[in-house]
Amino acid sequence: MRVRFLLLNLLALTPALARAPIPAPAKPAAAAADWPLARGTPQMLGIGTAKLPDQLDVLWAFKTGNIVEGAPAVVGNVAYIASADSHLYAVDLKTGKQLWKTKLGPMRASPAVKGGKVFVGDSDGVVHGVDAATGKPLWKFATGAEITAGCNFHGENVLVGSHDASLYCLTPDGKKVWNFAIDGPVNGSPAVLGDTAFVAGCDSTFHAVDCKTGKSPWNLALSGQAAATAAVDGGFAYFGTMTNEVVAVDLKTKKMGWQFAPVRRAQPFYSSAAVTESLILAGSRDKKVYALDRKTGKEAWSFATEGMVDASPVVVGDRVYVGCLSNGGEFYVLDLKTGKKLQEIELDSAVSGSVAVTADRLLVGTEKGTVYCLGKK
Protein backbone atom coordinates (compact mmCIF):
# COMPACT_ATOMS: atom_id res chain seq x y z
CA MET A 1 0.00 0.00 0.00
CA ARG A 2 1.39 3.36 -0.99
CA VAL A 3 0.55 6.41 1.05
CA ARG A 4 1.63 9.83 -0.18
CA PHE A 5 1.86 12.79 2.14
CA LEU A 6 2.51 16.28 0.82
CA LEU A 7 4.91 18.32 2.90
CA LEU A 8 2.55 21.23 3.44
CA ASN A 9 -0.15 18.95 4.77
CA LEU A 10 2.32 17.23 7.06
CA LEU A 11 3.54 20.48 8.48
CA ALA A 12 0.00 21.32 9.40
CA LEU A 13 -0.31 18.19 11.50
CA THR A 14 1.79 19.40 14.42
CA PRO A 15 2.12 22.51 16.53
CA ALA A 16 5.79 21.69 17.09
CA LEU A 17 6.98 22.51 13.61
CA ALA A 18 8.22 25.92 14.54
CA ARG A 19 11.69 25.56 15.14
CA ALA A 20 27.75 -21.28 12.29
CA PRO A 21 27.04 -22.39 15.91
CA ILE A 22 23.33 -22.23 16.52
CA PRO A 23 22.76 -18.58 17.28
CA ALA A 24 21.14 -17.51 20.51
CA PRO A 25 17.98 -15.39 20.29
CA ALA A 26 18.49 -11.69 19.81
CA LYS A 27 18.12 -9.58 22.94
CA PRO A 28 15.31 -7.02 23.12
CA ALA A 29 15.56 -3.35 23.91
CA ALA A 30 15.92 -2.29 27.53
CA ALA A 31 12.22 -1.45 27.83
CA ALA A 32 9.42 -1.65 25.30
CA ALA A 33 8.81 2.09 25.40
CA ASP A 34 12.48 3.15 25.43
CA TRP A 35 15.08 3.42 22.68
CA PRO A 36 18.05 4.99 24.51
CA LEU A 37 20.74 4.10 21.96
CA ALA A 38 21.14 4.37 18.21
CA ARG A 39 20.30 0.69 17.63
CA GLY A 40 18.18 0.16 20.71
CA THR A 41 20.49 -2.07 22.77
CA PRO A 42 24.16 -2.01 23.86
CA GLN A 43 24.72 -4.91 21.43
CA MET A 44 23.38 -2.68 18.62
CA LEU A 45 20.87 -5.27 17.40
CA GLY A 46 18.26 -3.01 15.81
CA ILE A 47 15.34 -4.96 17.32
CA GLY A 48 12.23 -3.34 18.79
CA THR A 49 9.92 -5.16 21.20
CA ALA A 50 6.97 -2.78 21.16
CA LYS A 51 3.73 -3.55 19.35
CA LEU A 52 3.26 -1.44 16.22
CA PRO A 53 0.05 -1.05 14.20
CA ASP A 54 -0.43 -2.97 10.95
CA GLN A 55 -0.73 0.29 9.01
CA LEU A 56 1.25 3.40 9.89
CA ASP A 57 -0.11 6.94 9.81
CA VAL A 58 1.73 10.20 10.41
CA LEU A 59 0.89 11.27 13.96
CA TRP A 60 3.07 14.36 13.94
CA ALA A 61 6.10 15.83 12.18
CA PHE A 62 8.74 17.91 13.92
CA LYS A 63 10.83 20.26 11.80
CA THR A 64 14.49 21.06 12.54
CA GLY A 65 16.69 23.35 10.50
CA ASN A 66 18.86 20.76 8.75
CA ILE A 67 19.34 17.06 8.08
CA VAL A 68 18.56 14.52 10.82
CA GLU A 69 20.85 11.58 10.15
CA GLY A 70 20.96 9.72 13.46
CA ALA A 71 18.12 7.86 15.08
CA PRO A 72 16.34 9.78 17.84
CA ALA A 73 16.69 8.49 21.38
CA VAL A 74 13.51 7.88 23.37
CA VAL A 75 13.27 7.58 27.14
CA GLY A 76 9.93 7.82 28.90
CA ASN A 77 7.68 10.14 26.95
CA VAL A 78 10.49 12.26 25.52
CA ALA A 79 12.26 11.96 22.17
CA TYR A 80 15.74 13.47 21.87
CA ILE A 81 16.67 14.61 18.35
CA ALA A 82 20.13 15.69 17.15
CA SER A 83 20.21 17.83 14.00
CA ALA A 84 22.87 19.20 11.68
CA ASP A 85 21.35 22.61 12.47
CA SER A 86 23.54 22.43 15.65
CA HIS A 87 20.60 21.95 18.03
CA LEU A 88 19.65 19.08 20.30
CA TYR A 89 15.87 18.95 20.80
CA ALA A 90 13.64 17.36 23.41
CA VAL A 91 10.14 16.67 22.05
CA ASP A 92 7.03 15.36 23.75
CA LEU A 93 6.48 11.91 22.29
CA LYS A 94 2.71 12.05 22.34
CA THR A 95 2.15 15.53 20.93
CA GLY A 96 5.31 16.44 19.01
CA LYS A 97 5.63 19.66 20.99
CA GLN A 98 9.10 20.98 21.66
CA LEU A 99 10.07 20.82 25.33
CA TRP A 100 13.49 22.44 24.95
CA LYS A 101 16.32 22.92 22.49
CA THR A 102 20.02 23.51 23.11
CA LYS A 103 22.65 24.75 20.68
CA LEU A 104 25.70 22.48 20.70
CA GLY A 105 27.28 21.94 17.26
CA PRO A 106 26.28 20.39 13.93
CA MET A 107 25.36 16.77 14.66
CA ARG A 108 25.16 13.68 12.44
CA ALA A 109 25.35 11.20 15.32
CA SER A 110 22.48 9.70 17.29
CA PRO A 111 22.03 10.92 20.86
CA ALA A 112 22.22 8.39 23.70
CA VAL A 113 20.52 8.68 27.09
CA LYS A 114 21.52 7.28 30.48
CA GLY A 115 21.20 8.41 34.08
CA GLY A 116 19.23 11.56 33.31
CA LYS A 117 21.79 12.80 30.78
CA VAL A 118 21.95 12.98 27.00
CA PHE A 119 25.32 12.25 25.38
CA VAL A 120 26.05 13.18 21.76
CA GLY A 121 29.05 13.93 19.58
CA ASP A 122 29.15 16.60 16.88
CA SER A 123 30.83 17.24 13.55
CA ASP A 124 33.39 19.49 15.25
CA GLY A 125 34.61 16.48 17.24
CA VAL A 126 33.09 17.52 20.58
CA VAL A 127 31.23 15.14 22.88
CA HIS A 128 28.49 16.86 24.89
CA GLY A 129 26.85 15.90 28.16
CA VAL A 130 23.44 17.54 28.55
CA ASP A 131 20.84 17.45 31.31
CA ALA A 132 17.93 15.42 29.91
CA ALA A 133 15.25 17.29 31.86
CA THR A 134 16.27 20.85 31.07
CA GLY A 135 18.65 20.77 28.10
CA LYS A 136 21.34 22.50 30.14
CA PRO A 137 24.85 21.72 28.80
CA LEU A 138 26.86 20.05 31.56
CA TRP A 139 30.26 19.42 29.98
CA LYS A 140 32.26 19.12 26.76
CA PHE A 141 35.06 16.80 25.73
CA ALA A 142 37.02 17.59 22.57
CA THR A 143 38.33 14.85 20.31
CA GLY A 144 40.49 15.56 17.28
CA ALA A 145 37.95 15.11 14.46
CA GLU A 146 34.26 14.71 13.65
CA ILE A 147 32.00 12.22 15.37
CA THR A 148 29.44 10.51 13.14
CA ALA A 149 28.00 7.73 15.33
CA GLY A 150 26.23 7.48 18.64
CA CYS A 151 27.64 6.74 22.07
CA ASN A 152 27.32 3.48 23.97
CA PHE A 153 27.89 2.65 27.63
CA HIS A 154 29.94 0.35 29.82
CA GLY A 155 28.53 0.64 33.30
CA GLU A 156 28.20 4.38 33.83
CA ASN A 157 31.03 5.24 31.46
CA VAL A 158 30.46 6.60 27.95
CA LEU A 159 32.07 5.03 24.87
CA VAL A 160 32.34 7.04 21.66
CA GLY A 161 34.36 6.76 18.45
CA SER A 162 35.92 9.67 16.58
CA HIS A 163 37.36 10.25 13.14
CA ASP A 164 40.61 11.13 14.92
CA ALA A 165 41.15 7.31 14.88
CA SER A 166 40.28 6.71 18.52
CA LEU A 167 37.63 5.04 20.63
CA TYR A 168 37.19 7.01 23.85
CA CYS A 169 35.96 5.99 27.28
CA LEU A 170 34.67 8.91 29.35
CA THR A 171 33.22 9.18 32.83
CA PRO A 172 29.61 10.42 33.11
CA ASP A 173 31.00 13.89 33.83
CA GLY A 174 33.20 13.97 30.74
CA LYS A 175 36.64 12.97 32.07
CA LYS A 176 38.75 10.68 29.91
CA VAL A 177 39.34 7.19 31.30
CA TRP A 178 41.23 5.87 28.26
CA ASN A 179 41.39 6.04 24.49
CA PHE A 180 42.09 3.19 22.11
CA ALA A 181 43.80 4.18 18.85
CA ILE A 182 43.35 2.48 15.48
CA ASP A 183 44.85 3.37 12.10
CA GLY A 184 41.87 5.23 10.67
CA PRO A 185 38.59 6.94 11.54
CA VAL A 186 36.12 5.15 13.78
CA ASN A 187 32.86 5.49 11.85
CA GLY A 188 30.33 3.41 13.77
CA SER A 189 29.17 3.08 17.35
CA PRO A 190 30.92 0.49 19.51
CA ALA A 191 28.83 -2.57 20.34
CA VAL A 192 29.17 -3.66 23.96
CA LEU A 193 28.83 -7.19 25.35
CA GLY A 194 29.85 -7.67 28.97
CA ASP A 195 33.20 -5.98 29.48
CA THR A 196 34.15 -5.95 25.81
CA ALA A 197 33.49 -3.35 23.13
CA PHE A 198 33.66 -4.25 19.45
CA VAL A 199 34.45 -1.72 16.76
CA ALA A 200 35.67 -1.58 13.17
CA GLY A 201 36.77 1.40 11.14
CA CYS A 202 38.86 2.68 8.28
CA ASP A 203 41.87 0.56 9.25
CA SER A 204 40.16 -2.53 7.75
CA THR A 205 40.36 -4.27 11.12
CA PHE A 206 37.76 -5.55 13.57
CA HIS A 207 38.81 -4.80 17.15
CA ALA A 208 37.82 -6.24 20.50
CA VAL A 209 38.55 -3.73 23.28
CA ASP A 210 38.58 -4.39 27.03
CA CYS A 211 36.26 -1.72 28.45
CA LYS A 212 38.08 -1.68 31.78
CA THR A 213 41.60 -1.15 30.47
CA GLY A 214 41.23 0.21 26.95
CA LYS A 215 43.52 -2.54 25.65
CA SER A 216 42.73 -4.88 22.76
CA PRO A 217 42.98 -8.62 23.52
CA TRP A 218 42.59 -9.45 19.82
CA ASN A 219 41.71 -8.14 16.40
CA LEU A 220 40.92 -9.51 12.96
CA ALA A 221 41.96 -8.18 9.57
CA LEU A 222 39.06 -7.46 7.18
CA SER A 223 38.89 -7.31 3.41
CA GLY A 224 38.12 -3.58 3.55
CA GLN A 225 37.12 -0.58 5.61
CA ALA A 226 33.96 -0.52 7.68
CA ALA A 227 31.53 2.36 8.08
CA ALA A 228 28.72 0.44 9.74
CA THR A 229 28.15 -0.33 13.40
CA ALA A 230 28.63 -3.99 14.30
CA ALA A 231 25.78 -5.95 15.90
CA VAL A 232 26.89 -8.60 18.40
CA ASP A 233 24.86 -11.64 19.42
CA GLY A 234 25.13 -15.40 19.87
CA GLY A 235 28.91 -15.46 19.68
CA PHE A 236 29.11 -13.54 16.40
CA ALA A 237 29.46 -9.96 15.20
CA TYR A 238 27.68 -8.90 12.00
CA PHE A 239 28.41 -5.78 9.95
CA GLY A 240 28.81 -4.39 6.45
CA THR A 241 31.94 -3.07 4.77
CA MET A 242 32.87 -0.47 2.17
CA THR A 243 34.12 -3.33 0.00
CA ASN A 244 30.55 -4.44 -0.70
CA GLU A 245 30.22 -7.24 1.84
CA VAL A 246 28.28 -8.20 4.94
CA VAL A 247 30.41 -10.36 7.22
CA ALA A 248 30.04 -12.55 10.29
CA VAL A 249 32.96 -12.69 12.73
CA ASP A 250 33.16 -15.67 15.09
CA LEU A 251 34.01 -14.15 18.47
CA LYS A 252 35.06 -17.50 19.94
CA THR A 253 37.53 -18.55 17.26
CA LYS A 254 38.41 -14.95 16.38
CA LYS A 255 38.08 -15.81 12.71
CA MET A 256 35.80 -14.90 9.86
CA GLY A 257 32.58 -16.87 9.84
CA TRP A 258 30.93 -16.08 6.50
CA GLN A 259 31.07 -13.30 3.93
CA PHE A 260 28.23 -12.20 1.68
CA ALA A 261 28.53 -10.06 -1.46
CA PRO A 262 25.73 -9.38 -3.94
CA VAL A 263 26.16 -11.13 -7.28
CA ARG A 264 25.38 -8.04 -9.38
CA ARG A 265 26.13 -4.33 -9.07
CA ALA A 266 27.64 -4.72 -5.61
CA GLN A 267 28.01 -1.48 -3.66
CA PRO A 268 29.19 -0.59 -0.12
CA PHE A 269 27.15 -1.36 2.98
CA TYR A 270 26.98 1.76 5.15
CA SER A 271 23.79 0.52 6.79
CA SER A 272 24.14 -1.24 10.15
CA ALA A 273 22.65 -4.71 10.40
CA ALA A 274 19.59 -5.79 12.36
CA VAL A 275 19.88 -9.25 13.92
CA THR A 276 16.96 -11.64 14.45
CA GLU A 277 17.02 -15.28 15.53
CA SER A 278 17.37 -16.46 11.93
CA LEU A 279 18.16 -13.47 9.68
CA ILE A 280 20.59 -10.58 9.26
CA LEU A 281 19.03 -7.47 7.63
CA ALA A 282 21.16 -4.78 6.00
CA GLY A 283 20.76 -2.08 3.36
CA SER A 284 23.20 -1.37 0.54
CA ARG A 285 24.08 1.48 -1.75
CA ASP A 286 23.01 -0.81 -4.60
CA LYS A 287 19.44 0.26 -3.70
CA LYS A 288 18.48 -2.99 -2.01
CA VAL A 289 17.66 -4.31 1.43
CA TYR A 290 19.06 -7.82 1.99
CA ALA A 291 17.94 -10.57 4.34
CA LEU A 292 20.70 -13.12 4.93
CA ASP A 293 20.53 -16.51 6.62
CA ARG A 294 22.18 -16.00 9.97
CA LYS A 295 23.96 -19.38 9.97
CA THR A 296 25.26 -19.40 6.41
CA GLY A 297 25.18 -15.82 5.10
CA LYS A 298 23.21 -16.93 2.05
CA GLU A 299 20.62 -14.54 0.66
CA ALA A 300 17.10 -15.33 1.86
CA TRP A 301 15.53 -12.42 -0.05
CA SER A 302 16.24 -8.93 -1.27
CA PHE A 303 13.99 -5.93 -1.79
CA ALA A 304 14.67 -3.24 -4.40
CA THR A 305 14.15 0.34 -3.20
CA GLU A 306 14.02 3.67 -5.02
CA GLY A 307 17.38 4.85 -3.70
CA MET A 308 20.58 3.94 -1.88
CA VAL A 309 20.00 2.51 1.59
CA ASP A 310 22.34 4.06 4.16
CA ALA A 311 19.71 4.07 6.91
CA SER A 312 19.81 1.02 9.16
CA PRO A 313 16.77 -1.29 9.19
CA VAL A 314 14.89 -2.07 12.37
CA VAL A 315 12.87 -5.21 12.97
CA VAL A 316 9.73 -5.24 15.10
CA GLY A 317 7.86 -8.53 15.29
CA ASP A 318 7.46 -9.90 11.77
CA ARG A 319 8.19 -6.62 9.98
CA VAL A 320 11.20 -4.65 8.76
CA TYR A 321 11.21 -0.84 8.76
CA VAL A 322 13.67 1.13 6.63
CA GLY A 323 13.96 4.21 4.42
CA CYS A 324 16.14 5.09 1.44
CA LEU A 325 17.97 8.05 -0.09
CA SER A 326 15.46 8.75 -2.84
CA ASN A 327 14.02 12.07 -3.93
CA GLY A 328 10.58 10.69 -3.14
CA GLY A 329 11.43 10.02 0.50
CA GLU A 330 10.19 6.43 0.45
CA PHE A 331 9.89 4.66 3.78
CA TYR A 332 9.10 0.95 3.63
CA VAL A 333 7.42 -1.67 5.78
CA LEU A 334 8.49 -5.16 4.66
CA ASP A 335 7.46 -8.67 5.63
CA LEU A 336 10.36 -10.19 7.57
CA LYS A 337 9.91 -13.70 6.20
CA THR A 338 9.46 -12.91 2.50
CA GLY A 339 10.62 -9.33 1.90
CA LYS A 340 7.22 -8.45 0.44
CA LYS A 341 6.31 -4.77 0.65
CA LEU A 342 3.44 -4.25 3.05
CA GLN A 343 3.35 -0.46 3.07
CA GLU A 344 5.18 2.47 1.52
CA ILE A 345 5.01 5.96 2.97
CA GLU A 346 6.40 8.99 1.17
CA LEU A 347 8.03 11.52 3.46
CA ASP A 348 9.22 15.03 2.58
CA SER A 349 12.70 14.06 1.37
CA ALA A 350 15.33 11.31 1.34
CA VAL A 351 15.31 9.20 4.47
CA SER A 352 18.75 9.74 5.92
CA GLY A 353 17.93 8.69 9.46
CA SER A 354 17.53 5.31 11.09
CA VAL A 355 14.48 4.28 13.06
CA ALA A 356 13.74 4.52 16.77
CA VAL A 357 10.91 2.36 18.12
CA THR A 358 8.73 3.24 21.11
CA ALA A 359 5.61 1.78 22.73
CA ASP A 360 3.20 2.10 19.80
CA ARG A 361 5.00 4.23 17.24
CA LEU A 362 8.30 4.82 15.51
CA LEU A 363 10.40 7.89 14.70
CA VAL A 364 12.52 8.56 11.64
CA GLY A 365 14.32 11.64 10.25
CA THR A 366 14.87 13.02 6.75
CA GLU A 367 17.34 15.12 4.78
CA LYS A 368 15.10 18.17 5.13
CA GLY A 369 15.38 17.89 8.89
CA THR A 370 11.89 16.59 9.60
CA VAL A 371 11.36 13.88 12.19
CA TYR A 372 8.18 11.88 11.60
CA CYS A 373 6.28 10.03 14.27
CA LEU A 374 4.41 7.13 12.68
CA GLY A 375 1.72 5.10 14.41
CA LYS A 376 -2.04 4.62 14.45
CA LYS A 377 -4.34 7.62 14.49
- Among 26, 124, 22, 13, CA closest to 371: 13
Q: Beta-carbon neighbour count of residue 28 at 10 Å? A: 14
Residues paired with 130 in a beta bridge: 118, 137
What value does the mean pLDDT take over residues 276-305?
A: 98
Q: Give me the percent of the chain exceeding a pLDDT of 90.
A: 89
Distance CA 269, CA 88 (A): 28
- Inform me whether the pLDDT recorded for 64 exceeds 80: yes
CATH T-level fold of 2-375: Methylamine Dehydrogenase; Chain H (2.130.10)
pLDDT tens digit string along 107-166? 999 999 999 999 999 999 999 999 999 999 999 999 999 999 999 999 999 999 999 999
**Tens of pLDDT, residues 312-370:** 999 999 999 999 999 999 999 999 999 999 999 999 999 988 999 998 999 999 999 99
**Average confidence (pLDDT) over 221-241:** 96
Q: Which residues contact 345 (CB under 8 A, 6 or more apart)?
A: 3, 5, 56, 58, 330, 331, 332, 333, 374
- pTM here? 0.91
Q: Where are the domains of the chain?
A: 2-375
pLDDT for residue 69 is more than 90: yes
Percent of the chain clearing pLDDT 70 (strictly above): 92
